[in-house]
């Protein structure tokens, strides 16, 4: 729940999209490259009436994705780091309406000490001066990428974001299976340029209180976040994390 106006959430649909990909992996690192060709349409499901809709247009280009993952587990890891880089070059010859570049990267690491662990994350994206189509704009918002904001509420063609959180183990459930509860706080700051919809003109930030853990029922989380836009958000999650369609998603 939160006190805010509707966020500019849209639904994206790929029509007849085809792709050809090749990849390799070694030493916790995976590289994928390929071609994409097809179509995109945009339908406004929730949001401001002024947000664009696209009945259908061509979509195609060159795609590259790099992942390096040295974490000891996917959820509440105690050691290691995660690096993700994705690049897309829209090419008219493969069906795109316009040529443009889209580069995004994210790095997060864990620093354990005693019964506590700190996480530090940085992410950013650039279109190198081009205006990205609405279906390829960078998005922030949700309990992971930007706590306190609705999923996809912040959109634009360039952005940067930094996040820090500190968690302390408050209860052990099963030492054998690594199940425990953690409580702590987090702080996130971000700035988006070439904005679409409700993105503020100045950098925004949020701070929150969190209770997270690994349990016999799966991952569980409860967070209360407050933003610089005088909004607040309470989120409860059980099982598979909420998909935010952002590079910070736990599953990518």
pLDDT of residue 4: 40
Give the span between the Cα atoms of 72 and 163, in whole angstroms.
Answer: 21
Residues 6+ apart with CB under 8 A from 175: none
Give the span between the Cα atoms of 38 and 157, in whole angstroms.
Answer: 22
Residue 8 above 70 pLDDT?
no
Three-point CA angle 69, 246, 42, nearest 5°: 145
Q: Do residues 140 and 106 make contact, with C-beta atoms less than 8 angstroms apart?
A: no
pLDDT tier at 17, thresholds 50, 70, 90: low
What is the gyration radius of the CA atoms in the chain, in angstroms?
Answer: 19
* Residue 231: count of CB within 10 angstroms of its CB: 18
Residues 6+ apart with CB under 8 A from 74: 250, 251
pLDDT of residue 166: 98
CA atoms lying within 13 Å on the CB side of residue 24: 1
Residue range 72-115, pLDDT digits in tens: 888 888 899 999 999 999 888 887 878 999 999 999 999 999 99
Q: What is the pTM of this model?
A: 0.85
- Domains in the chain, ordered, with CATH? 9-238 (2.40.160.50)
Category of 197 on φ-ψ map: left (φ > 0), alpha (ψ -120 to 50) or beta: left
Percent pLDDT > 90 in the chain is: 51
User: 74 vs 98, 217, 241, CA distance in Å?
Assistant: 37, 16, 11
pLDDT tier at 224, thresholds 50, 70, 90: very high
Residue 51 is encoded by which pair of tokens?
């947000």
């Amino acid at each position: 729940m939160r006190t805010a106006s509707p966020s500019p959430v849209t639904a994206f649909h790929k029509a007849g999209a085809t792709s050809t990909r090749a990849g390799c992996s070694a030493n916790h690192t995976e590289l994928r490259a390929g071609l994409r060709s097809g179509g995109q349409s945009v339908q406004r499901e929730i949001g401001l009436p002024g947000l664009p809709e696209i009945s259908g247009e061509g979509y195609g280009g060159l795609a590259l994705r790099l992942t390096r993952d040295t974490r000891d587990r996917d959820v509440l890891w105690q050691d290691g780091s995660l690096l993700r880089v994705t690049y897309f070059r829209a090419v008219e010859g493969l069906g795109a309406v316009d040529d443009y570049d889209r580069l995004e990267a994210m790095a997060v690491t864990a620093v354990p000490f005693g019964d506590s662990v700190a996480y530090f994350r940085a992410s950013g994206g650039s279109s190198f001066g081009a205006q990205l189509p609405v279906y390829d704009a960078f998005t922030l918002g949700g309990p992971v990428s930007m706590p306190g904001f609705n999923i996809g509420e912040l959109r634009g063609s360039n952005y940067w974001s930094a996040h820090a959180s500190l968690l302390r183990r408050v209860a052990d459930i099963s030492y054998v299976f690594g199940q425990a509860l953690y409580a702590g706080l987090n702080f996130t700051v971000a700035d988006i340029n070439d904005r679409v919809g409700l993105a503020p003109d100045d950098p925004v930030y949020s701070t929150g209180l969190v209770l997270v853990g690994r349990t016999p029922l799966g991952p569980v989380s409860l967070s209360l976040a407050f933003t610089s836009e005088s909004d607040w958000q309470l989120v409860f999650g059980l099982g598979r994390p909420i998909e935010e369609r952002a590079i910070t998603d736990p599953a990518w």
